[in-house]
Structure 1
């Protein structure tokens, strides 16, 4: 009889700080529901030991919305689908105002996002202007999510003072072709490796509930463990009208919580961030359970094309749980 996976994880992850492998992660995902509280408790212990009680708070803003040429099947910003999102550019004063409002909540991260395959020179110029204006107006770390990059663009973003770059792998390599056909998983991986090599922090996660199997969720956790990003945002699919995934069901709450805890055990030292879809998949009580099951970062307010959870509710929950908001790094 094989040793219980949570006993293995207690030694390997909690005591030694080594994340679960893909095979071990699958065993956690396959635990019966009556062991969910035990799994969540262990994940919380791991988070507290290797990350501490602080929670990193982030706001995001879309600099360029809609009209993306890629066919990511979950995304209403693709120009290939009939979803109602249309191309819009945000001006620099609006970008700065949003950054100031985000910082006022206590957030330390502000991420500028653009719906593109990769940035052209016009976008890079706007990002440069926006990053400079934000840093002049408010003390906050600026992150970017601008799609796939060239080496020159990576170097340029690092030189601008971009603190962290987000580029999600989205799902397991074996499932990626069912989600996107206009570029490859390996192209995304290459951008992630260049970002790390340039000295920026790497934010890389994905979306749960896009038709992947439990085995593929475990595969994804293992692949993220191999990549070693500084932050992993965990999204749960919010099916958007007009996209190929519009009729997909929401991830069931207990399954979502198992996934959160398992990813914490696979990534013991990583910032694990609540992102899109949690307000639908988990609701208020599930959101609380996830904060006590491995999550140590949140995006507050709205997401790019969907409404998020009320920022005041999230901040009140952190206060209730006595989880302090992470202070701004002085290395700006």
Structure 2
């Protein structure tokens, strides 16, 4: 059924079907905002279109990824959502993992069918000790585990980018976190532009770019639309979609959890802005969406999942995510897949 918003103006989902589904072109900022402002009774229609877009431009496979923290806590930055900041009274202890522990974690992740294993560190950027340990870990994992190794260790210099690329890091994660216009409300110790610079160097070095953020931190629908189109301009390989899970001791501890209906509209809207990009369910989905909402998201544009726990919050048991993917009859991406 074709719906119109006026005598001669097609409805946003009708326009999206022609532009995004048929031609593979992402919606503009204004188009994304229109999607985000759809009434709740049209969420099912939105998600159905987003799923069609995902199937046509990304295929039906689901990519699994596990993450582990090499260095936890004590970060000098003031990201207001993060309990790993050393500036807040958050109950996260400082900890380092050794190489054997990282290799073992990679082996356990590979057993789930995951093709990506991401090593993360709570730092503004890596010092020489961290770089050396990370590169040693990448080599050790590559020798023993058949899995792609990704990294997320903050803001990089060109030399560090080159070292990681030479070491065989497959994908680098560095989230922009939110729209440029809202970023000063989330982080004050570094700029949005600094993050963007790191991502540009990573892209030019030939590593895949993983860049997303967190929704539900107080941004407006207009800023969510801005963020989606800023990500589209960057053209990342993957966008992790996190929903704020308010952490005790952080400046965002008292924020309300995003309503499920809003989160589902965000999933559909981001798919229509990024038709050919991996959209990955990440932190906060359990709290925001629950089991039913997660299934709706998987049939509404999402085509990747972080399995297991996150950095400082519990995820769902790996078995439940694998059962969900099986229930929905979605194939898991194999390591040698080119999709």
Matched position secondary structure for 1:210? coil
User: How far apart in 1 are the matches of 2:13 and 2:276?
Assistant: 18
Q: Does 1:237 align with 2:250?
A: no
User: How far apart in 1 are the matches of 2:103 and 2:162?
Assistant: 23
Q: How does 1:226-265 map to 2 (within 5 A)?
A: 226-265=233-272
Name the Cα RMSD after superposition.
0.8
Pick one of 130, 133, 136 that aligns with 2:140: 133
Aligned-pair CA distance for 1:330:
7.4
User: How far apart in 1 are the matches of 2:316 and 2:295?
Assistant: 12
Aligned-pair CA distance for 1:69:
0.2
- Give the aligned partner of residue 108 of structure 1: 115
CA deviation profile, 1:46-104 (whole Å, cap 9, x unmatched): 00000011000000000000000000000000000000112111111110000000000
Aligned-pair CA distance for 1:309:
1.0
- Give the aligned partner of residue 3 of structure 2: none
TM-score (norm 1): 0.99
- Give the aligned partner of residue 92 of structure 1: 99
Aligned-pair CA distance for 1:3:
2.1
Q: Does 1:23 align with 2:10?
A: no
Q: How does 1:130-279 map to 2 (within 5 A)?
A: 130-279=137-286
Matched position secondary structure for 2:224? helix
Aligned-pair CA distance for 1:329:
2.9
User: How far apart in 2 are the matches of 1:193 and 1:86?
Assistant: 32
User: How far apart in 2 are the matches of 1:330 and 1:217?
Assistant: 32
User: How far apart in 2 are the matches of 1:68 and 1:284?
Assistant: 32
Q: How does 1:64-83 map to 2 (within 5 A)?
A: 64-83=71-90
Q: 1:308/1:174 Cα in 2 relative to 1: closer, same or farther (>3 Å)? A: same
Pick one of 63, 66, 70 that aligns with 2:70: 63
Matched position secondary structure for 2:103? helix
TM-score (norm 2): 0.97
Matched position secondary structure for 2:52? helix
**Structure 1 outlier segments of 4+, above 6 Å:** none
CA deviation profile, 1:224-267 (whole Å, cap 9, x unmatched): 01000000000000000000000000010010000001000000
Matched position secondary structure for 2:258? coil
Question: When the two structures are aligned, how many residues end up with a matched partner?
Answer: 331
Matched position secondary structure for 2:92? coil
User: How far apart in 1 are the matches of 2:93 and 2:217?
Assistant: 23
Matched position secondary structure for 1:135? helix
- Give the aligned partner of residue 42 of structure 1: 49
Matched position secondary structure for 1:173? coil
User: How far apart in 1 are the matches of 2:332 and 2:204?
Assistant: 29
Consecutive unaligned residues of structure 1, counting only runs of 5 or more, are none
Q: Does 1:291 align with 2:298?
A: yes
Aligned-pair CA distance for 1:320:
1.0
Q: Does 1:329 align with 2:336?
A: yes
Consecutive unaligned residues of structure 2, counting only runs of 5 or more, are 1-5
Aligned-pair CA distance for 1:122:
0.2
CA deviation profile, 1:139-182 (whole Å, cap 9, x unmatched): 10000000000000000000000000000000000000000000
User: How far apart in 2 are the matches of 1:225 and 1:300?
Assistant: 25
Q: Does 1:51 align with 2:58?
A: yes
Matched position secondary structure for 2:268? helix
Aligned-pair CA distance for 1:310:
1.3
